[in-house]
Amino acid sequence: MIIKKLNWEYESKYSFYLVDEIESTNTYLKENAKDYNDKTVLIAQRQTKGRGRYNRVWVSEDDCIFSILLKKNGAYHLTAPLALCLALAGFGYDTGIKWPNDIYLQNKKLAGILIEDVYQESFSSAIIGIGLNMSDKMEFNAIGLNTKLSKYEIIDAVMNKLSELNKMDIKDVIELYRKKSIVIGKMVSYHDKLYKAIGVDQNGHLILNNDSTTIHVSSDEIDIKESIR
């Protein structure tokens, strides 16, 4: 496995690396975080053992696959999906966020985001893994961008938006997230009970309500079923 440092031609002030084939960009950065600086991005041409939520394996041949290493803590479960949505909006795509980190286009999944924290007694770094479909995946009822845009152009736009969002007040981030959410205002199933998603609190937790209770759930607790009504 050869990892090459890229001479980035675009605007983002990050360090970019490219690997032709890797099992998982997230796993690699988690295991080697100490060897890389803050704001490092690893891009894979092919990923053979990518991981989604609940360790689901995802193989990618031609998609936009990259992981971001950040050594400052933040509300990345909000800013990362927002950054992808806002970047794609700049290219004319109207996308929405399904809690916590799936991006949908035309009611089909377009991208998934996996965020993992690394601790060494205390917080050390966060790894944000993004997998964006560049072509349709009919077997998974998933949609792709189907565009002539360069992957690198898209990644650059995402990184710029992420930098902007990470500097914003959390209240403003939450308001932007609400506007892009496809869950808020809908009935969802959580732990086999029906709730209405009514908002996001100041800690970035999803607020669910039914006739008997209101609960606040974090991104690592929620398991919303595919059926959103």
- What share of the chain has pLDDT > 70, as a percent? 90
Query: Which residues form the domain of 222?
Result: 184-229
Residue 79 has pLDDT above 90, yes or no: yes
Structure tokens at 131: 């997998």
Q: Do residues 206 and 185 touch, judged by C-beta distance below 8 A?
A: no
User: Do 106 and 38 have their domain in common?
Assistant: yes
Query: Could you tell me the CATH number of the domain that includes residue 71?
Result: 3.30.930.10
Please tell me which residue, 215 or 51, carries the higher pLDDT value: 215
Band of the pLDDT at 59, cuts 50, 70, 90?
Answer: low
**Count of domains in the chain?**
2
pTM of structure: 0.90
User: Do 117 and 7 have their domain in common?
Assistant: yes
User: Do 110 and 205 have their domain in common?
Assistant: no
User: Do 50 and 109 have their domain in common?
Assistant: yes
User: Do 174 and 191 have their domain in common?
Assistant: no
| Distance of alpha carbon 112 from alpha carbon 66, whole angstroms | 11
- What share of the chain has pLDDT > 90, as a percent? 71
User: Do 128 and 114 have their domain in common?
Assistant: yes
User: Do 72 and 122 have their domain in common?
Assistant: yes
Of 69, 90, 76, 66, the closest CA to residue 152 belongs to: 66
Mean pLDDT of 144-158: 95
User: Do 135 and 217 have their domain in common?
Assistant: no
- The single-letter DSSP state of residue 109 is E
Structure tokens at 33: 């975080």
User: Do 17 and 51 have their domain in common?
Assistant: yes
Q: What is the mean pLDDT of the chain?
A: 89
pLDDT in tens, 105-136: 999 999 999 999 988 788 999 999 999 999 99
Q: Do residues 201 and 78 touch, judged by C-beta distance below 8 A?
A: no
User: Do 18 and 56 have their domain in common?
Assistant: yes
User: Do 48 and 138 have their domain in common?
Assistant: yes
User: Do 135 and 202 have their domain in common?
Assistant: no
Q: At CA 58, angle to CA 81 and CA 99, rounded to 5?
A: 30
